[in-house]
Amino acid sequence: MPNILEQIVASTRKRVEHQKRTVPLSKLLETPTPTHPSFYEALKNQDFAYILEVKKASPSKGVIKEHFEPLEIAKQYEQAGAHAISVLSEPEFFLGKSEYVQQIAKTVSIPVLRKDFIIDPYMIYESAALGASAILLIASLLDEATLKSYLELTHRLGMDALVESRNEEDIAKALRAGAKIVGINNRDLRDFSVNIEQSLQLRDNIPPSTLFVCESGIDSKEQIDKLKQNYVDAVLIGEYMMRSDNKKEALERLEGKRL
Ligand SMILES: O=C(O)c1ccccc1NCC(=O)[C@H](O)[C@H](O)COP(=O)(O)O
C-alpha cells in the first residue's frame, strides 16, 4: 500500500493531466494574473504571524466541518486578525477546490496561500491565475533541481513559496534551492501524530534571514508561548480554527487575551 503522500501525488497527477486537457497552458497564460498582497511581507512585518487555514477535511481527521462555507470562514479569519489565509485546493483527500482560492483571494485583502501538492509547473501558473499570493512546495516531493526551478518560476510570477520540510535533509535542500520561507510540518505522516517539538528541534537549522513557519497541531496558548520563545516567525493553524465557532475568540485564546 503506497503511503499517504504517494496516494495524494498519484491522484494529483491524474487531476493535473485532466486539467491540462480542459484548460491548456497556452490558454491559462492568456488569463490576466490578479494583483495580490505579498505573503512574505505580511509575515515579515509581524513579530509573530498567524496563517489560518480553510479546510473541510483531511486524511488524518476525515471531515472536519460538515457545513462548510469557505468564503465566510475566510472573512471571519481576516476580521479575527489573521495575517494570511491558507486554502486547501486538493479535492480528493481534503475536499478542497481551486475555486476556493480564487473566491477567497478576490474577497479578502490579506495574502492567500494555495495549499496543494504541487508536482507540475502547470499548477504554479494556475495558482498565479487564481490570485494566490503564495504556494506550498513540499521539499520531499521534489528533487533539488526541480525545487529550485519551481521556486524561480514562483518568484518570477510574483508569488512566494512556503517550502515545507520535515527533517534536516529537507531543510538543507530548501535552503540550497533558494527558499525564503521554510515551514516545518509537525505531523508525522506515518501515524498522523503531531508534536511541535519537531519544529523546535529543527529551529537552529534555519538561518534568521529565512522566515520560519511552524505547521500543524497547534491549539494552545502554551504552544504559542513556546514557539515565540524559540523565534518562530509564523504559525499555520488549521483544525483548531476550523472547529472554533468564534474565530476571533479562538485567536484571542491562543494569544492569552481570553481564557
Ligand atoms: O492533515 C493531514 O491529515 C495531512 C495528511 C497528509 C498530508 C498533509 C496533511 N495535512 C496538511 C497540513 O499540513 C495541515 O493542513 C496544516 O499544517 C494545518 O494543520 P492542523 O492545524 O493540524 O490542522
The complex's ipTM works out to: 0.98
The chain-wide mean pLDDT, for the chain, equals 97
pLDDT at 113: 98
pLDDT at 2: 79
Residue 127, H or E segment: helix 121-130
How would you classify residue 137: left for phi > 0, otherwise alpha for psi between -120 and 50, otherwise beta? beta
Any catalytic annotation for residue 216? yes
pLDDT at 242: 98
Residue 81 class from Cβ within 10 Å (0-12 exposed, 13-18 middle, 19+ buried)? middle
Mean pLDDT of 197-224: 97
pLDDT at 184: 98
Q: Report yes or no: 72 and 100 within 8 Å, Cβ to Cβ.
A: no
pLDDT at 251: 98
Does residue 237 carry a pLDDT above 80? yes
Please state the atom number of ligand 1 nearest to the C-alpha of residue 218. Answer: 21
Does residue 133 carry a pLDDT above 80? yes
User: Residue whose CA is closest, atom 5 of ligand 1?
Assistant: 59
**What is the Å distance from ligand 1's center to 31 Cα?**
31
Of residues 256, 255, 221, 229, the one with CA closest to residue 81: 255
Query: Is 219 a pocket residue for ligand 1 (Cβ < 6 Å)?
Result: no
Q: Which residue among 55, 58, 224 is best mutated to probe the pocket of ligand 1, counting the most ligand atoms within 8 A of its Cβ?
A: 58
* 1: confidence class by pLDDT, cuts 50, 70, 90: confident
Instruction: Out of 98, 133, 185, 199, pick the active-site residue.
Output: 185
Any catalytic annotation for residue 249? no
**What is the Å distance from ligand 1's center to 148 Cα?**
24
**What is the Å distance from ligand 1's center to 24 Cα?**
30
Any catalytic annotation for residue 185? yes
pLDDT at 57: 98
Mean pLDDT of 215-231: 97
Percent of the chain whose predicted confidence (pLDDT) is above 70: 100
Mean pLDDT of 148-159: 98
HSE (side-chain half, CA atoms, 13 Å) at 250: 22
Does residue 241 carry a pLDDT above 80? yes
Q: Which residue among 187, 223, 243 is best mutated to probe the pocket of ligand 1, counting the most ligand atoms within 8 A of its Cβ?
A: 187
- In the chain the first and final C-alpha atoms are separated, in Å, by 44
Angle at which helices 144-156 and 168-177 pack, to 10 degrees?
50
Sign of the Cα pseudo-torsion (201, 202, 207, 208, in order) = negative
Q: What is the pLDDT of residues 78-132, one digit of tens each?
A: 999 999 999 999 999 999 999 999 999 999 999 999 999 999 999 999 999 999 9
Q: What is the pLDDT of residues 21-72, one digit of tens each?
A: 999 999 999 988 999 999 999 999 999 999 999 999 999 999 999 999 999 9
Please state the atom number of ligand 1 nearest to the C-alpha of residue 217. Answer: 22
234 strand-pairing partners: 49, 213
pLDDT at 236: 98
pLDDT at 98: 98
Domains and CATH numbers, the chain: 4-28+36-254 (3.20.20.70)
Q: Return the residue matching grid coordinates 502554551.
A: 222
Instruction: Out of 164, 173, 180, 244, pick the active-site residue.
Output: 164
pLDDT at 259: 83
Q: Does residue 237 sit in helix, strand or coil?
A: strand
Residue 64 class from Cβ within 10 Å (0-12 exposed, 13-18 middle, 19+ buried)? middle
Mean pLDDT of 145-162: 98
**What is the Å distance from ligand 1's center to 81 Cα?**
22
